[in-house]
Amino acid sequence: MSRSLNKVMIIGNLGREPEMRYTPSGKPLTKFRVATNRRWTTPDGEEQTETEWFNVVTWGKLAEICNQYLTKGERVYIEGRLHTRHWTDEDGNHQSATEVVAQEMIMLGSPSQTDDQKTENIREEDEFPF
């Protein structure tokens, strides 16, 4: 049997405050958006920037931690897998959305913090680190 891999790693900034809710069975779920920037110089010497937005979903203990400690603008490392959800809207149109289902999150600090300031590494299965 051949193996496959679905792994995503991003470093970026939160675009808005995390939003937490609970499933009907009571499992915590937190969603937030992360922006990453790519910069390059064209052959003409012009500098270009491109921003890519990622929808991130966290579950369980990691969802609770993200909701409690992450804030808009904060720099984070997210590791997880891509998942595409499919549904039919109220008008009968088929919709889909691709999200990063996070399994690890590292708080890198706000854009104003320096690299030598403390970072927190939190995995989905870890106990609360504080």
Tell me the residue type at 73.
Answer: G
pTM of the shown model: 0.78
* In a domain? residue 129: no
Domain-located, residue 65: yes
pLDDT in tens, 83-109: 999 999 999 999 999 999 999 999 997
Domain span at 119:
8-123
For 121, the token pair is 């590494």
Question: How many other C-beta atoms can be found within 10 angstroms of the C-beta atom of residue 101?
Answer: 16
Residue 110: predicted pLDDT: 62
Q: Which parts of the chain have pLDDT scores under 50?
A: 114-120, 122, 125-130
> Looking at residue 1, what is its pLDDT?
77
Structural domains of the chain, count: 1
Q: What is the per-residue pLDDT for 104?
A: 96
Rounded Cα gap, residues 124 and 73, in angstroms: 22
Query: What CATH number does the domain containing 37 carry?
Result: 2.40.50.140
